[in-house]
Amino acid sequence: MIYVCKIGDQCPVKSFSGHQSEVNAIKWDPTGSLLASCLDDWTAKIWSMKQDKCVYDFKEHTKEIYTIRWSPTGPGTNNPYQQLLLASASFDSTIKLWEVEQGRLLTSVQLGWP
C-alpha cells in the first residue's frame, strides 16, 4: 500500500493498492498530480490522485526496479511544452525511459562493461 497523507490529518488523503511486493521508491511528478512508484515485483506504476487504480503499470524490466526519476518537463516547469517522461533503473542492468501521456516505452539502455 501507498498512503498519501496530509500533515495534521489522522487519515490518509488517498490510498493506492496493487503492489505485489516491497515498494522501493515513490516520486511526485513536477506538477504534483502524478505519483510514480517502483518495486521489487519488477514493475513501475503511475498513480493519479483523481482515480483509485494505477494509470499505468510498466512491466518491461526483468528484475527489481530500485529507482525512478521524472523529467523536469511538462506544465508548471521551465520546459512546459516538452513531454513528461519517467525513467526507471533496474537490477536487470537497464534504464528504461517511459512516455507518460500514452504510457509506452520509448527506449531502453543496457548498462554494463564493454
Within-domain flag for 79: yes
User: The domain containing residue 49 runs over which residues?
Assistant: 21-110
Within-domain flag for 6: no
Cα 79-2-8 angle, rounded to 5 deg = 90
Within-domain flag for 12: no
Q: Measuring CA to CA, which residue among 73, 68, 74 is closest to residue 56?
A: 68
Within-domain flag for 63: yes
Percentage of the chain lying above the pLDDT 90 cut: 71
**What distance in Å separates the CA atoms of residue 66 and residue 72, rounded to the nearest whole number?**
20
pLDDT at 64: 95
- Within the chain, where are the H helices? none
Burial 37-51, CB ≥16 within 10 A → b, else e: bbbbebbbbbbbeee
pLDDT at 113: 58
Could you report the per-residue pLDDT of 14-58, keeping only the tens digit for each?
Answer: 989 877 788 999 999 998 889 999 989 999 999 999 998 999 999
Kindly report the CATH number assigned to the domain that includes residue 100: 2.40.10
pLDDT band at 103 (very low <50, low <70, confident <90, very high): very high
- In the chain, count H helices and then E strands: 0, 10
Could you report the per-residue pLDDT of 58-101, keeping only the tens digit for each?
Answer: 999 999 999 999 999 887 788 989 999 999 999 999 999 999 98
Q: Which amino acid is at 30?
A: P
Higher pLDDT, residue 104 or 31: 104
**What distance in Å separates the CA atoms of residue 88 and residue 67, rounded to the nearest whole number?**
6
